[in-house]
C-alpha cells in the first residue's frame, strides 16, 4: 500500500488567541511506517500529549494534516472520528484505564462490541487475544486483582482487538516496575514487528529507546533532534546509529555497542567503517 | 464502519455491573426509590379505597336510577335536611317501567359510644324493600324500630357487640347485627328501620333518596327521563352518575392534599435516582472518558447511564410495590377504617412514575457523560 502508515504534515496546534495564544505544537511533520516504533520524548510541557491527542483524533489540529493509510483524518467531521478511533487506532494509557466493573475478558470484548462485533464473537476474540498475551488464566479476573504488568497487557489487548493500523501509547511504562516495564516494551516491539502495526509512544522513560526504531525529541512544540536507533546483532542492545560502532558485512551496514561486538560479528571479514 | 454503539444487551449489562459494584449505594438507591414508590402507591391506594367506600352503599343497593331532592347530585350531601317532596314514593311506584323502588332516609348522626361520640351515616330503610347492610358479618337485620345494625369496624373500635345498646338522640337502640364493608374514613354506617330514623330526625314520611330498578325492557335512561317528568321537583339521575358525583365530591376534598404528597414522593424519588446516578457517573468519569476515547459514541454512554437509572428504578419499583402491599395490609389491620385498595391501575401508574423518575434522574448525569471530552482522560 503506497500510502500505508501515518503521515503528519506541518501540524500546528494553538490554544487561545492574541496575547494569550499558546502554540503547543509547531509545524511538526512525521512519517511512521507500518512495523515501525517511534518514541517521542521531551520535557514536560513540550507538546507531547497534545501531539498524541491530535494523532489519535481526539483533538483537532489548527493547521496541517494527519493521514493514516491514505485517509486524511484532520479533515474528517467530528461525527466520523469515533468510528475511526475504534477501527484505526489502539490506545494504551499510563494508568491502564480498565473498566473496574468488567472482568479482564469483558474489558477487551467491549472494544470489539463497540466496533460492531456481536457479544459472542467479541468475547471469543478477546479470549483468544488475551490468551496469546499470556492472560488465558486471568480471563474472568477483576482488573483490581491483576499486577500492573497484567493490567497493561489487558490494555494492550483492548488496543489490539479491532486490528488497528496505529497504536498510540501514552507513558505505557510509567506505572510499572522494571520487569513489567520491559515486558510491556517487548510487547509493543512485537506488535510492530510481528503484526505490522505502527506504534507511536510518548514517554519520559529512556528505556523505551531500546525498542524504538526512531526517537524524536520534542521541545517547545517542535522536533529538535531525531535519533535513528539500531539493534546490536551480537548483544541485542539498542544503540543510536549516530554514536554506534559500525561494520559492513555482505554490503549491509550493522551497528554495534562496542568494538568487541563488532569484531565478534564480523570476525575475519571485518570491514570497519 | 459501524455506529460505535453498544449492542442492545451490552449497555444494560455494563450498567448493571456498574451498579452492583457498589452494593451499598445500589441498596440505598433501591430503598430510596422503593420508599417513594411505596408512598405513591399507598396514597393512591388510600384514595382508591376512599372512593370505593364512598361508592359502596349505592354500588350494593339494587337499582340503576336514583331519585334525589332537587339540586342534590349525590348521597354525600345526605343529612343536609333536604328531602324529596311528599308523595314522591307513590309517584315513583306509579311510574311506568319501575320494577322496584327502595326508599331511603339517610342522615348524619352523632351517637354516644360508651364515653365517646362519633359521627356516622345513619341509613333508614325498609327491610322488606331493601337498602340495608349488604354484607352481614354477624346477627340479623333490624326487625323492630329500636334495633340497629352497626358497622363491624365501628363496633370493634368502641367495644360494641350484638346485644349492646347504643344511645342516639336520647333513644336506646339495640345492636342486632354487624355489617362488613361499611366503614370509611369519612364515617361508618349504622342501619335502622326507616320509621326509627324518621323519629330521630323528627321528619315523619321524609325521604332522602329512592333507588329505582327499571322493569325488564325499560332502559335506565328512559326511566330517568320519565321519572324526571313525573317529579319535576326532584333530581333524577343514573346510579352511576350519583356514585361518580359522590366520588367527585370526595376528590374535591382530599385530592389537593393527596396529590401534593404524591408529587413530593415523586420528586424525592427522582432526586434519589438523580443523586445516586450523578455520584456514580462522576466517580466513573474517567472510565466513560476511556470508552469515548476508544470510540464509543455519546449515545452508547447515554444508554449505559439510562440503563443504570432504569435498573435502579425498576428494582425500586418492584420493592416499592411489595412495601406498599405490606403497608396497606398493616394499616388495614391496625386501622380498618383506612380503606387501602391498590389496584392494577395504581401499579401501572407507579411503574410509570418509576420510569419517569429514572428518566428525570438520568438527565443530568447522562448529559455530563455525553459532553465529556475524551481527551480529558489522557495525562496532561
Same domain, B89 and B191: yes
Q: CA–CA separation, B301 vs A80, rounded Å?
A: 17
- pLDDT tens per residue, range B276-319: 878 888 888 888 888 888 888 888 888 888 888 888 889 999 99
Residue B62 within a domain: no
The burial of B250, by beta-carbon neighbours within 10 Å (0-12 exposed, 13-18 middle, 19 or more buried), is given as buried
Q: Same domain for B349 and B227?
A: no
A86–B300 CB contact, under 8 Å: no
Residue B24 has pLDDT above 80, yes or no: yes
Q: pLDDT confidence of A9, banded at 50, 70, 90?
A: very high
Question: What are the grid coordinates assigned to A113, written together?
Answer: 462490541
Per-residue model confidence as pLDDT tens digits over A193-202: 888 899 999 9
- Residue of higher predicted confidence among A121 and B356: A121
What is the CATH code for A6-231? Answer: 3.40.50.300
Mean pLDDT, rounded, for B206-226: 94
Domain range annotation of chain A: 6-231, 232-273
The reply to whether B20 and B153 lie within a common domain is no
Q: Would you state the cell numbers that stand for residue A248, as one nine-digit string?
A: 559492513
pLDDT in tens, A31-66: 999 999 999 998 888 899 899 999 998 889 999 999
Q: Is B89 on the interface with A (CB under 8 A)?
A: no
Chain A nearest-CA distance from B21, in A, is: 6
Check whether B142 has a pLDDT greater than 50: yes
* Residues of chain A contacting B3 with CB distance shorter than 8 Å: 83, 116
Cα A144 → chain centroid: 25
- Per-residue pLDDT at A271 exceeds 80: no
> Residue A100 gets which letter from DSSP?
T
DSSP per position, A130-171 = HHHTT-GGGTTS-GGGS-HHHHHHHHHHHHHTT--SEEEEES
SS3 assignment for chain B: CCCCCCCCCHHHHHHHHHHHHCHHHHHHHHHHHHHHHHHHHHHHHHHHHHHHHHHHHHHHCCCCEEEEECCCCCCCCCCCCCCCCCCHHHHHHHCCCEEEEEEEEEEEECCEECCEECCEEEEEEECCCECCCCCEEEECCCCCCCEEEEEHHHHHHCCCCCCCEEEECCEEEEEEEEECCCCCCCCEEEEEEHHHHHHHCCCCCCCCEEEEEECCCCCHHHHHHHHHHHCCCEEEEEHHHHHHHHHHHHHHHHHHHHHHHHHHHHHHHHHHHHHHHHHHHHHCHHHHHHHHHHCCCHHHHHHHHHHHHHHHHHHHHHHHHHHHHHHHHHHHHHCCCCCCCCCHHHHHHHHHHHHHHHHHHHHHHHHHHHCCCHHHHCCC
Q: Region B71-96: what's the mean pLDDT?
A: 84
- CB spacing of A94 vs B379 below 8 angstroms: yes
Residue of A nearest to B297 (CA): A82
* Beta-carbon pairs below 8 A across chains A and B: 89
* Domain presence at residue B189: yes
Q: Which residue is closest to B374 within chain A, CA to CA?
A: A58
A91 neighbourhood in chain B, CB within 8 Å: 293-294
State mean pLDDT over B78-89: 81
Taking residues A109-128, report their average pLDDT: 92
Q: Quick: pLDDT tens for A64-112.
A: 999 998 889 888 888 888 889 999 999 998 888 899 999 999 999 999 9
Average pLDDT for A14-24 = 90
Q: Which residue has the higher pLDDT, B339 or B56?
A: B56
The answer to whether residue B241 sits within a structural domain is: no
pLDDT exceeds cutoff 70 at A1: no
* Mean pLDDT of all residues belonging to chain A: 89
Mean pLDDT along residues B262-281: 83
Q: Determine the residue of chain A that is closest to B21 in CA distance.
A: A101
pTM, entire model? 0.72
pLDDT of B190 > 80? The answer is: yes
Residues B195 and B269 both lie in one domain = no
Residue A2 predicted with pLDDT over 70: no
Does one domain contain both B114 and B50?
Answer: no
- Do B118 and B82 sit in the same domain of this protein? yes
Q: How would you class B128 by CB atoms within 10 Å of its CB: exposed for 0-12, middle for 13-18, buried for 19 or more?
A: exposed
B369 and B260 in a single domain? The answer is yes
Chosen for mutation from B26, B293, B305 (greatest number of chain A CBs closer than 10 Å) is B293
Mark whether B81 and B148 lie in a shared domain: yes
User: Are B351 and B313 in a shared domain?
Assistant: yes
Q: Does A52 touch chain B (CB under 8 A)?
A: yes
Q: What is the pLDDT of residue B8?
A: 45
Q: pLDDT tens digits, residue range B28-51?
A: 888 888 988 898 999 999 899 889
pLDDT in tens, B48-61: 988 988 899 999 99
Over range B329-357, report the average pLDDT.
85
| Region B211-235 average pLDDT | 95
* Residue written as grid cell 339517610: B106
Instruction: Say yes or no to pLDDT of A229 above 90.
Output: no
Q: Is A97 on the interface with B (CB under 8 A)?
A: yes
Asked whether the predicted pLDDT for residue A266 surpasses 60, the reply is yes
In a domain, B228, yes or no: yes
Into how many domains does chain B fold?
Answer: 2
Per-residue pLDDT band for B5 (boundaries 50, 70, 90) equals low
B contacts of A82 (beta carbons < 8 Å): 4, 292, 295-297
B182 and B313 both lie in a single domain = no
Residue B2 — very low, low, confident or very high, per pLDDT cuts 50/70/90? very low
Is A97 in contact with B290 (Cβ distance < 8 A)?
Answer: yes
Query: What is the pLDDT at residue B273?
Result: 78
- Asked whether residue B45 is assigned to any structural domain, the reply reads yes
Contact B17 A101 (CB under 8 A): yes
pLDDT at position B78 is 58
Closest by Cα among B152, B167, B177, B165 to B200: B167
In eight-state DSSP terms, residue A267 is G
Which one of A24, A82, A84 makes the best mutation probe of the B interface by having the most chain B beta carbons within 10 Å? A82
Residue A273 confidence (pLDDT): 54
Distance CA B287, CA B322 (A): 35
Look at the block and give the residue holding cell 565478534: A264
Q: What is the mean pLDDT of residues A147-176?
A: 91
Domain edge (last residue) among B183, B207, B232: B232
Predicted pLDDT at A176: 84
Band of pLDDT at residue A182, cut at 50, 70 and 90 = confident
- The range of the structural domain enclosing residue B144 comes to 71-232
Q: Is the dihedral of CA A226, A232, A233, A237 positive or negative?
A: negative
pLDDT at residue B380 greater than cutoff 70: no
On whether both B332 and B357 belong to a single domain, the answer is yes
Task: Check CB contact under 8 Å for B287 and A52.
Answer: no
A90: its cell numbers: 489502539
Query: Are residues B276 and B28 in contact, defined by beta-carbon separation less than 8 angstroms?
Result: yes
Domain boundary among B232, B259, B284: B232
Amino acid at each position: 500500500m503506497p500510502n500505508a502508515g501515518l503521515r503528519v504534515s506541518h501540524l500546528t496546534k494553538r490554544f487561545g488567541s492574541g496575547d494569550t495564544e499558546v502554540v503547543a505544537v509547531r509545524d511538526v511533520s512525521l512519517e511512521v511506517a507500518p512495523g515501525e516504533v517511534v518514541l517521542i520524548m521531551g520535557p514536560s510541557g513540550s507538546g507531547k500529549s497534545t501531539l498524541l491527542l491530535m494523532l489519535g483524533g481526539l483533538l483537532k489540529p489548527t493547521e496541517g494534516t494527519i493521514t493514516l493509510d491514505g485517509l486524511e483524518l484532520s479533515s474528517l467531521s467530528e461525527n466520523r472520528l469515533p468510528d475511526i478511533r475504534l477501527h484505526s487506532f489502539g490506545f494504551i494509557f499510563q494508568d491502564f484505564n480498565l473498566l473496574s466493573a468488567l472482568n479482564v475478558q469483558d474489558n477487551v470484548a467491549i472494544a470489539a462490541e463497540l466496533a460492531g462485533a456481536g457479544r459472542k464473537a467479541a468475547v471469543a476474540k478477546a479470549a483468544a487475544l488475551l490468551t496469546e498475551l499470556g492472560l488465558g488464566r486471568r480471563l474472568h479476573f477483576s482488573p483490581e486483582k491483576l499486577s500492573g504488568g497484567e493490567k497493561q497487557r489487558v490494555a494492550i489487548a483492548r488496543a489490539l482487538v479491532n486490528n488497528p493500523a496505529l497504536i498510540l501509547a501514552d507513558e505505557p511504562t510509567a506505572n510499572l516496575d522494571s520487569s513489567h516495564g520491559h515486558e510491556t516494551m517487548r510487547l509493543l516491539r512485537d506488535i510492530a514487528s510481528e503484526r505490522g502495526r505502527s506504534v507511536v509512544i510518548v514517554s519520559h522513560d529512556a528505556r523505551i529507546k531500546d525498542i524504538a526504531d526512531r526517537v524524536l525529541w520534542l521541545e517547545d512544540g517542535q522536533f529538535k533532534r531525531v535519533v535513528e536507533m539500531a539493534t546490536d546483532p551480537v548483544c541485542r542492545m539498542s544503540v543510536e546509529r549516530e554514536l554506534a560502532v559500525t561494520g559492513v558485512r555482505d554490503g549491509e551496514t550493522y551497528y554495534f555497542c562496542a568494538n568487541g561486538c563488532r569484531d565478534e560479528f564480523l570476525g575475519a571479514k571485518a570491514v570497519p567503517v | 464502519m459501524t455506529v460505535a454503539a453498544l449492542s442492545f444487551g451490552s449497555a444494560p449489562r455494563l450498567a448493571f455491573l456498574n451498579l452492583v459494584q457498589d452494593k451499598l449505594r445500589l441498596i440505598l438507591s433501591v430503598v430510596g426509590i422503593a420508599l417513594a414508590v411505596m408512598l405513591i402507591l399507598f396514597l393512591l391506594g388510600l384514595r382508591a379505597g376512599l372512593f370505593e367506600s364512598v361508592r359502596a352503599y349505592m354500588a350494593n343497593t339494587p337499582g340503576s336510577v336514583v331519585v334525589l331532592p332537587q339540586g342534590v347530585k349525590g348521597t354525600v350531601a345526605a343529612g343536609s335536611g333536604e328531602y324529596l317532596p311528599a308523595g314522591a314514593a307513590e309517584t315513583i311506584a306509579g311510574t311506568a317501567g319501575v320494577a322496584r323502588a327502595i326508599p331511603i332516609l339517610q342522615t348524619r348522626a352523632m351517637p354516644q359510644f360508651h364515653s365517646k361520640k362519633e359521627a356516622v351515616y345513619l341509613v333508614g330503610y325498609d327491610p322488606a324493600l331493601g337498602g340495608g347492610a349488604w354484607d352481614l358479618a354477624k346477627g340479623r337485620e333490624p326487625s323492630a324500630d329500636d334495633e340497629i345494625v352497626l358497622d363491624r369496624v365501628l363496633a370493634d373500635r368502641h367495644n360494641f357487640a350484638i346485644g349492646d345498646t347504643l344511645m342516639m338522640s336520647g333513644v336506646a337502640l339495640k345492636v342486632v347485627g354487624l355489617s362488613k364493608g361499611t366503614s370509611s374514613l369519612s364515617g361508618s354506617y349504622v342501619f335502622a328501620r326507616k320509621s326509627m330514623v324518621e323519629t330521630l330526625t323528627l321528619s315523619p314520611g321524609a325521604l332522602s333518596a329512592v333507588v329505582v330498578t327499571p322493569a325488564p325492557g325499560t332502559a335506565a335512561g328512559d326511566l330517568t327521563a320519565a321519572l324526571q317528568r313525573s317529579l319535576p321537583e326532584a333530581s333524577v339521575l343514573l346510579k352511576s352518575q350519583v356514585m361518580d358525583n359522590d366520588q367527585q365530591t370526595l376528590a374535591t376534598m382530599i385530592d389537593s392534599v393527596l396529590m401534593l404528597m404524591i408529587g413530593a414522593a415523586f420528586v424525592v424519588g427522582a432526586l434519589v435516582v438523580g443523586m445516586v446516578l450523578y455520584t456514580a457517573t462522576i466517580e466513573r468519569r474517567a472510565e466513560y472518558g476511556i470508552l469515548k476515547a476508544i470510540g464509543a459514541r455519546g449515545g452508547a454512554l447515554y444508554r449505559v447511564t439510562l440503563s443504570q437509572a432504569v435498573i435502579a428504578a425498576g428494582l425500586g419499583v418492584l420493592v416499592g410495590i411489595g412495601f406498599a402491599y405490606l403497608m396497606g395490609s398493616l394499616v388495614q389491620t391496625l386501622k380498618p377504617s383506612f380503606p387501602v385498595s391498590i389496584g392494577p391501575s395504581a401499579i401501572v401508574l407507579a411503574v410509570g412514575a418509576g420510569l419517569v423518575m429514572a428518566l428525570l434522574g438520568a438527565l443530568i448525569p447522562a448529559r455530563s457523560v455525553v459532553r465529556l471530552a475524551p481527551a480529558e482522560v489522557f495525562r496532561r
